[in-house]
Amino acid sequence: MWKTICRSILICLIVIGCLHSTTATAAPVEKAIFAGGCFWCMEQPFDSLPGVLSVMPGYTGGTKLNPTYQEVSAGGTGHTEAVEIIFDPTKVSYEKLLQVFWRNIDPTKADRQFCDIGSQYRAAIFYLSDQQRTLALASKEDISKIKRFKEPVVTEIVPASRFYAAEEYHRQYYKKNPIRYRFYRSNCGRDKRLKELWGTAAGH
Active site residues: 38
3-state secondary structure of 67: coil
Rounded Cα gap, residues 72 and 19, in angstroms: 44
Note whether 61 and 124 are within 8 A (CB): yes
The amino acid at 122: R
Rounded Cα gap, residues 155 and 170, in angstroms: 24
Tell me the CA distances in angstroms from 38 to 17, 73, 117, 144, 180, one per residue in order. Answer: 47, 10, 10, 24, 13
Note whether 163 and 60 are within 8 A (CB): yes
Rounded Cα gap, residues 83 and 58, in angstroms: 6
